[in-house]
Amino acid sequence: MASDITLLYDTRPIGVLDSGVGGLSVLREIRALLPHEHILYAADQGHVPYGPRSIEEVRTFTLGVARFLIEHKAKLVVVACNTASAAALYTLREAFPETPFVGMEPAVKPAARDTRTGRIGVIATEATFQGELYASVVGRFANGVQVETQACPEFVLLAEAGETSGDAAREAVRRRLAPLLAAGIDQLVLGCTHFPFLRAIIEAEVGPGVCVIDPGAAIARQVRRVLDGRGLLNGSDAPGGVTYTTSGDPAAFRRVLNALLGIDTRPDDVLALRWNGGLLGWAE
């Protein structure tokens, strides 16, 4: 009997990780779909950006962040970062077999299904394009479709600075998307979780003839499916809370959280983390 009650009210948090603020584009979808769940968000801003780093380095960081979330009772971990998923998803599942993981992969499948021109664009980080996960997604889903790729490292920095609508952002978007538009794409896959924050200017640049695909809502549905399938949902009616943590500067994180999602936080809502000998823990 007692264990049934525990199952109905699994109040442990969902862990969400990213190199920085990109995972917030997934977090907002999870919050909308699963408002009663608690979330523990970890931004590894001490190491952002992940995109220009080697796969091995990103894998080491991702394992450290996931370990921190699991040590703090995460019942499921969302790797809300395409780069970290590309580098570490298989390793994470091996290293923590008890914990379910939901990762990101570029949404080539719906883009290839819906294209009319036969040409789709994928924007992501350099590391994501180098990983085996990306090659496997293209191999599985892109049959007969031409895939144009473009790394957009500035987009990550713009989102990290909360600068998602000014001239610098518009100029970067124009420059990076020009080759894709010239190639005649009609689907554009946002293959990095930082990019949905630039969606308004991306859509203005590509125009109505190009469909922009953000997988955030699909990832939230996958989180719900996995939790439900394992009896891990929190059946409580009370609203869930979010604890934000960062290995960077909590004050800067709070400012950008406000700029990107309009969320006001108190200093205590964003907690500082420190790397110490390869392990991530609370800052003193």
Q: What is the radius of gyration, based on Cα positions, of the chain?
A: 19
Q: Which is nearer to ligand DGL, 125 or 149 (CB)?
A: 125
**Catalytically annotated residues:** 81, 192
Q: Report the interhelical angle of 132-141 vs 82-95 (nearest 10°).
A: 100
Element (H, E) at 77: strand 76-79
User: Are 138 and 129 within 8 A, CB to CB?
Assistant: no
Q: Quick one: tokens of 94?
A: 């091996």
Asked if 58 and 84 count as a contact pair (C-beta separation under 8 A), the reply is yes
How would DSSP label each residue in 137-158?
A: HHHHH-TT-EEEEEE-HHHHHH
The distance of closest approach from Cβ of residue 7 to ligand DGL in the complex, given in angstroms and rounded to an integer, is 32
CB of 194 to ligand DGL, least distance (A): 4
Task: Return the H-helix or E-strand segment holding 282.
Answer: strand 279-282
Q: Between β-strands 14-18 and 270-276, what pairing exists: parallel, antiparallel or unpaired? A: unpaired
Closest to ligand DGL by CB, 131 or 234: 131
Report the residue number, 215 or 233, with the smaller CB distance to ligand DGL.
215
To ligand DGL, the closest distance from the beta carbon of 98 in angstroms equals 25
- How far, in Å, CA of 66 to CA of 119, rounded? 36
Q: Is the peptide bond before 49 cis (omega within 30 degrees of 0)?
A: yes
| Cβ proximity of 247 and 68 under 8 Å | no
CA pair distance 256, 159, nearest whole angstrom? 8
Q: Which residues bind ligand DGL (CB under 6 A)?
A: 18-20, 22, 48-51, 81-83, 125, 128, 156, 192-194
